[in-house]
Structure 1
Amino acid sequence: MSLYRDAAIVLRTHKLGEADRIITLLTRERGVVRAAARGVRKTSSRFGARLEPFMHVDLQLGEGKSLDFITQAVTITPFAKWLGDDYGAYTAGCAMLETAERLVADTAEPSVPQFTLLVGALRALTEKRHDPGLILDSFQLRSLAIAGYAPSFGACARCGREGPHRFVHVPSGGVLCDHCRVAGSTVPSPATIALLGALLAGDWPSVDSSDDRSRREATGIVAAYLSWHLERGLRSLAHVDRYS
């Protein structure tokens, strides 16, 4: 039996048989891994609570033919415990988990930067550093950038001409200048485009000072950009507690 260790975030779980579960993990070194946790649903299980969504764990796993299997789990950071009491943070976190799984699973390759970004975003949620919706928007833009889909909110996405520019066209990859504008472009406010750039760059003083209208507009553009590259939307976004 070949064993290996890796750090992971639990993305989701589902039942397997009478007492087992299949755990979907974002691991640091191996990307998205699906592994069986045997007997984890029994009350006598030694590590059942450590294998819930959001948990940041150190795992020992064995390689199997169709599924790997978990033999040991040690908690690194109990994000699940802290997110359960905050609906806004919890729903934003669920959308982060789904985003990470879709982007990394689609590449079929491990991504240490994606893993590190998810851990940092969950930590920011639990520490209540910023509005949960803003943390989610920033996470999704930066996760897209790591996956090779970085949007442009400064230079024209088609010709590279430096901005600021008025038009946004999701299929083109961001803002467009007057010359490159195409049918279907939207015209968000200059404050919204500035906010999108700040979310992508992690410029939190600028993000935190943004107004509600810009936040709502930016959220719609982020969701559209993510859906375009994933080819369908995220189910969890419908439940995210957004700005009033």
Structure 2
Amino acid sequence: MPERSLDGLVLTARPLGEHDRLLTLLSEAEGLTRLAAPGARRPKSSLAAAVPLTHLHLQVGGRGGLGRVRQLRVLRSYSGLAQRLETLAAAQALAELCLKLVPGEAPAPGMLADLLLQLGRLEGVVTERAEPLEALAVAVQGSVHLLALGGFALPLQHCSRSGAPLAPPIGDWDWRCSLLPSEGLAIGAVPGARVMLNASELALLQRLTRPALPRRRDGNLMGPEAVWLHLLALVEAWCGEHLGQRPRAFRLLRTACEPMAPQPSEPT
């Protein structure tokens, strides 16, 4: 088999043998590809940069079966996301989601580009020392985008039971819609619903299908932290129903972003 060039993001890197690594690479051309990186675990290896959350240009060879990385060039490393728990957790959750959504060795149009966009935004959270809420919002919006690209889009336009448009009446604090993971979103407070949203929460969720995060005129995110955590719960429930498993890093992200419990005051 002749050598081929491949650009992609390393989602996972596991030990293979004594000195090698087994990579799972996300690319536009091939979707998920498993590759051996010979000697990559040696400190001075030319392939040592083959680690998770690194965007690489690869030369790949091998005759059938598992391809072997011959050469690599780092296009961009997202290792800086590990400086903060919430940005690392958000990145890991989005990577896990891609592992569930993307078919092996089949084109995945738009998936890599969107994931790289979200990782770039998470880098901005680190460099700008932004609030943890920014990382949470990127993870929620990124999940909405990736689910749509992977064929499991959240049905945000019509009631799953009546077919009526999901047009949230902003300002009506008694209005509710319910997530029924096997069906979609239904207008009203349905008994047994996994998650219920008010009108403002649904309106915010619907805006997440757009390219940019929803912000006020002053640049701050729309919605408080509690609302974004509520939307994360909805995404988790949808993933659990349709993908068979929720990204484990969602739990770590929730832990990093949930408000700390108030500490008891010391006796005077």
TM-score scaled by structure 1? 0.89
Contact residue 21 and residue 36 of structure 1 kept, 8 A: yes
Which piece of structure 1 moves more, 151-160 or 1-10?
A: 151-160
Aligned residue pair count:
239
Q: What per-residue deviation string (whole Å, max 9, x for no partner) do you get for residues 115-136 of structure 1?
A: 1111111111112287111101
Q: Which has the higher helix share?
A: 1
TM-score scaled by structure 2? 0.81
Return the match for 1:211 from 208, 219, 224.
224
Which piece of structure 1 moves more, 217-226 or 120-129?
A: 120-129
- Call closer, same or farther: CA 1:67–1:170 in 2, change over 3 Å: farther
Return the match for 1:177 from 175, 178, 187.
187
Gaps of 5+ in 2: 169-175, 260-268
- Of structures 1 and 2, the larger Rg is shown by 2
Deviation at 1:164, TM superposition (A): 2.5
Aligned to 1:125: 122
Q: What per-residue deviation string (whole Å, max 9, x for no partner) do you get for residues 8-31 of structure 1?
A: 100011111111111111112101
Q: What per-residue deviation string (whole Å, max 9, x for no partner) do you get for residues 144-187 of structure 1?
A: 11112211233223443213253222335532235xx8652343
Contact residue 29 and residue 106 of structure 2 kept, 8 A: no
Contact residue 60 and residue 72 of structure 1 kept, 8 A: yes
Tell me the distance in 1 between the aligned counterparts of 2:239 and 2:249.
Answer: 13
Aligned to 1:236: 249
- Call closer, same or farther: CA 1:124–1:28 in 2, change over 3 Å: same
Q: Aligned letter for 1:242?
A: C
Q: Aligned letter for 2:113?
A: T
Which piece of structure 1 moves more, 125-134 or 39-48?
A: 125-134
Aligned to 1:79: 78
* 1:137 is the counterpart of 2:134: no
Tell me the distance in 1 between the aligned counterparts of 2:212 and 2:11.
Answer: 27
Tell me the distance in 2 between the aligned counterparts of 1:16 and 1:195.
Answer: 44
Tell me the distance in 1 between the aligned counterparts of 2:62 and 2:7.
Answer: 16
Which piece of structure 1 moves more, 60-69 or 216-225?
A: 60-69
Gaps of 5+ in 1: none
Aligned to 1:23: 23
Tell me the distance in 2 between the aligned counterparts of 1:116 and 1:170.
Answer: 30
Contact residue 156 and residue 185 of structure 2 kept, 8 A: yes
Deviation at 1:220, TM superposition (A): 0.5
Tell me the distance in 2 between the aligned counterparts of 1:143 and 1:70.
Answer: 27
Aligned to 2:177: 167
Q: Aligned-residue CA RMSD in angstroms? A: 2.1
Deviation at 1:203, TM superposition (A): 4.9
Aligned to 1:147: 150
Identity of aligned residues (%): 24
Contact residue 138 and residue 213 of structure 2 kept, 8 A: no
Q: What per-residue deviation string (whole Å, max 9, x for no partner) do you get for residues 174-220 of structure 1?
A: 32235xx8652343222221221122334523481212221121111
Deviation at 1:47, TM superposition (A): 2.6
Tell me the distance in 1 between the aligned counterparts of 2:43 and 2:137.
Answer: 38
- Call closer, same or farther: CA 1:212–1:163 in 2, change over 3 Å: same
Tell me the distance in 2 between the aligned counterparts of 1:51 and 1:112.
Answer: 23
* 1:67 is the counterpart of 2:66: yes
Tell me the distance in 2 between the aligned counterparts of 1:149 and 1:120.
Answer: 20
Q: Aligned letter for 1:234?
A: P
- Call closer, same or farther: CA 1:135–1:115 in 2, change over 3 Å: same
After superposition, residues 1-80 of structure 1 pair within 5 angstroms as: 1-48=1-48, 50-80=49-79
Which piece of structure 1 moves more, 14-23 or 167-176?
A: 167-176
- Call closer, same or farther: CA 1:226–1:6 in 2, change over 3 Å: same
Tell me the distance in 2 between the aligned counterparts of 1:147 and 1:25.
Answer: 16
Contact residue 8 and residue 57 of structure 2 kept, 8 A: yes
